[in-house]
A and B are shown apart, each in its own frame.
Chain A
């Protein structure tokens, strides 16, 4: 079946540090890949997505590139801020083209940014 693996953390960084959160996946075919973010006290929200190999998703200074050869979708940001403190979830959609199979999520990475 489909699965997503990501570092769980917590990951603690200083403000303005470079961020990488690793995400690798197992899926048949060509899934779509996503990063969701959950800020304290809020629901999950889509951060960025990529629907085919070599696509780069970007939003709010975050980027992730769909690497089919390494089955990875690592999240990066050049300079993090305290407001980036949240839980980040990597997810995939099987893109079966038929009915909905639901998203498969990683277990989430808790990111803490210290001033």
Chain B
């Protein structure tokens, strides 16, 4: 079956702009998590959605937000972009709330560059 699909794969924005990233989970998976990956900080948890509800949020400012739709697809939004937001944003899906099993299925990521 199809894996986790993230769009767009690459994008370039300027400081102050906003960006929306999309994630389509594996069919049947109801949980979607988002992670930020940077060379300095590694992989950091942003938030997780399950059945359209945000279950938990990592230690990121309010400029980072997300939502999940009834078909389990998820979007994350970053407003007022800063240079430090340049990163690979990874989406992961799982059958149940991810933290309980740890078995996450990751997409290839959306690489955001902020100029």
Q: Footprint of B on A, CB under 8 Å? A: 32, 34, 36, 41-46, 49, 89, 91, 93-97, 99-108
Contact = CB atoms under 8 A, between A and B. Distances in A.
B43 A89 contact: yes
A101 B102 contact: no
Contacts of B24: none
Contacts of A45: 105-106
B26 to A, nearest CB: 11
Interface of B: 3-4, 31, 33, 35, 42-45, 47-48, 50, 55-56, 58, 90, 92, 97-109
Given A42-B108, A104-B45, A99 B56 contact: yes
A93 B100 contact: yes
25 contacts: A42-B108, A43-B90, A43-B105, A44-B90, A44-B106, A45-B105, A45-B106, A49-B102, A49-B103, A91-B43, A93-B99, A93-B101, A95-B99, A97-B100, A99-B99, A100-B97, A102-B45, A102-B48, A102-B58, A102-B99, A103-B45, A105-B43, A105-B44, A107-B43, A108-B43
